[in-house]
Amino acid sequence: MAQRLIFGIMIILAGACGADDKPAPGASAATDQTAADTQAVAPAATPRTRLEATIQTPIDDPAIADKPKAIITTSMGDIMVVLYTDEAPNSVANFIEYVEGRQYTRTIFHRVIPGFMIQGGGFSSFLEQRKTRAPIAYEGNNGLSNDRGTLAMARTQNPNSATAQWYINLDDNAFLNHGARRPDEPGYTVFGRVIAGMNIVDAIATVETSDQFAGNGQPLSNVPVDPVVIEKVQMLERAQ
């Protein structure tokens, strides 16, 4: 793909970030780097402390009982999410297909910004980018908001460019919603929500980060110094 889903170079939505000046999900083409400038980062040897997940919404809650759910197993604990098939059918189907293809096994949260979001699904522990399928159509005008705990699709500036990467909102990020700045202007598609393990999401948000280079020389910002690994993602009925 000509454009790669990498959040390393921040793109600021002019006039949209408000007082907090939070960076909006976006992507930019890689800048040229010499061999001396680039180095893939290997995972740290020190294991992360695993936490027990707190429950936000029971899986048998009538509002979500019949919806698909996935478990994101990380080096800091398990995060369970419910997927909104009615509001974002294509985004959910796309996510499930990547899950079933083990796309997310041994990837990392490669962008962590306290008070904003944590993002994963695109890079291995060595910051090598995973190959993806064709992008999917934008579904952000579905009535769902980028509220704290929601799961949303990462993309480039093109609203129809989402592939495998996703993020979890740490705060109510209204500036990422459809029509936040101007009527019908694309935002970022919400397709799920954390129902257990938000305490783990918050713990991930506290890790130390730095600027690093991906394996292909792409500069990345806000990368955990000690990788937070996504060991696997499984649909609930297939989880062991």
29: which residues sit within 8 A by CB, 6+ positions away?
A: 3, 4
Considering all CA atoms of the chain, what is the largest pairwise distance in Å, rounded to the nearest integer?
56
Among all chains, which residue has been given the structure tokens 């297909």?
97
Backbone CA torsion sign across 181, 160, 31, 170: positive
Token pair for 82: 């419910």
Buried b (16+ CB within 10 A) or exposed e, 77-109: bbbbbbbbbebbebbbebbbebbeeebbbebbb
Query: So what's the pLDDT on residue 237?
Result: 81
Radius of gyration of the chain (CA): 17
What is the reported pTM?
0.83
Three-class SS of 35-88: CCCCCCCCCCCCCCCCCCCCECCCCCCCCCCCCCEEEEEECCEEEEEEECCCCC
Q: Which of 143, 189, 185, 147 is nearest to 166 (CA)?
A: 189
pLDDT of residue 165: 98
Q: What is the pLDDT of residue 49?
A: 86
Q: What confidence score (pLDDT) does residue 40 get?
A: 38
Q: Are 139 and 91 in contact (CB under 8 A)?
A: yes
| Token pair 């478990």 in the structure block, residue | 71
Q: End-to-end alpha-carbon separation of the chain, Å?
A: 35
* pLDDT score for 28: 29
Spans of the chain, pLDDT less than 70 = 1-47, 238-240
Residues 6+ apart with CB under 8 A from 109: 74, 118, 119, 120, 204, 224, 228, 230
Q: What integer pLDDT is reported at residue 12 of this predicted model?
A: 27
Are 214 and 206 within 8 A, CB to CB?
A: no
Q: What is the pLDDT of residue 25?
A: 62
